[in-house]
Amino acid sequence: MLAITIINFATGLLFSVVAFIFRLPGIIFSFSPNPVSGLAFFAVSAAGAAAVVASFMALMVGASAGVVIAIAGLPRLQGGSAYAGATPPRPPARVTAGYAATQPQPQSQQQQRPGGGRPHDE
Max mean pLDDT range (35-39, 100-104, 115-119): 35-39
Domain extents for the chain? 2-77
Evaluate if residue 53 carries a pLDDT over 70: yes
DSSP track, the chain: -HHHHHHHHHHHHHHHHHHHHHHHHHHHHTT---HHHHHHHHHHHHHHHHHHHHHHHHHHHHHHHHHHHHHHTHHHHTTS-TTTTSPPPPPPPPEETTEEPPPPPPPPSSPPPTTTS-GGG-
What pLDDT, on the 0 to 100 scale, is given for residue 91? Answer: 72
List pLDDT tens digits, range 6-22.
999 999 999 999 999 99
